[in-house]
Amino acid sequence: MSVGNQGDPGNCPNPIDAAVLADYWLAALAKSEEEAVEEHLLGCDGCGARLTEVIALAGGVRNLARKGCLRMVVSEAFLKRAAEDGLRVREYAPPPGGGVECTVTADDDILIGRLAVSLSGASRVDLCFCDERGLEQFRLPDIPVQDGASSVVYQESITFAKAAPTTTMIVRLVTFDEAGSERMLGEYTFHHTRSLPGPGAW
């Protein structure tokens, strides 16, 4: 057995991608993936050392995520950590095909949309953001999903939400069939009412 540099991915026949290590640290991986990474790290010093580097890099991202500044899909573990950190989490859970009245207050740290959905058989899932007419504005492609999970937990950027005017946003979860055609898994409408004073209030 040769002794290489600590942290040299060359030591590892199958090094874990840095992005996956970062997601692991952010607790953003699906549970099965998280367990696979955990198991790999137990037996691989090279990837363990790389994780340390990623943690240093991801520290900034993690702080942003923890502060609720990023629009991203999060795990139950992330929410648990946030609550343990004393952050105030505001959560809305519109039914599939339905809508919910929502807002955000100055005291909220994290804003969560819990999208109930059946994900069985869906390998790639995109989260699409649309205006009130249903016109897609942008999407988060290939979001982390947990096999057998009954919901996708989506964190809206609290910075964005606090600045947003009263508005309606439609969120869609879509997957793809074998031919690559898009198939809708669920559609959710957020009727956001601004309750904070400021430039966006009218």
| Distance of closest approach, residue 43 Cβ to Zn ion, in angstroms | 8
- Give whichever of 47 and 185 is closer to Zn ion, judged by the CB atom: 47
Helices in the chain by DSSP H: which ranges?
18-25, 31-43, 45-66, 76-84, 158-163
| Distance of closest approach, residue 2 Cβ to Zn ion, in angstroms | 15
Distance CA 77, CA 35 (A): 13
Q: Which of 68, 146, 147, 64 is nearest to 113 (CA)?
A: 68
Give the chain's radius of gyration (CA, Å): 19
- Give whichever of 48 and 96 is closer to Zn ion, judged by the CB atom: 48
Residues lying near Zn ion in the complex (CB under 5 A)? 12, 44, 47
| Distance of closest approach, residue 23 Cβ to Zn ion, in angstroms | 16
- Give whichever of 49 and 163 is closer to Zn ion, judged by the CB atom: 49
Q: Which of 41, 33, 37, 58 is nearest to 7 (CA)?
A: 41
- Give whichever of 12 and 89 is closer to Zn ion, judged by the CB atom: 12
| Distance of closest approach, residue 51 Cβ to Zn ion, in angstroms | 10
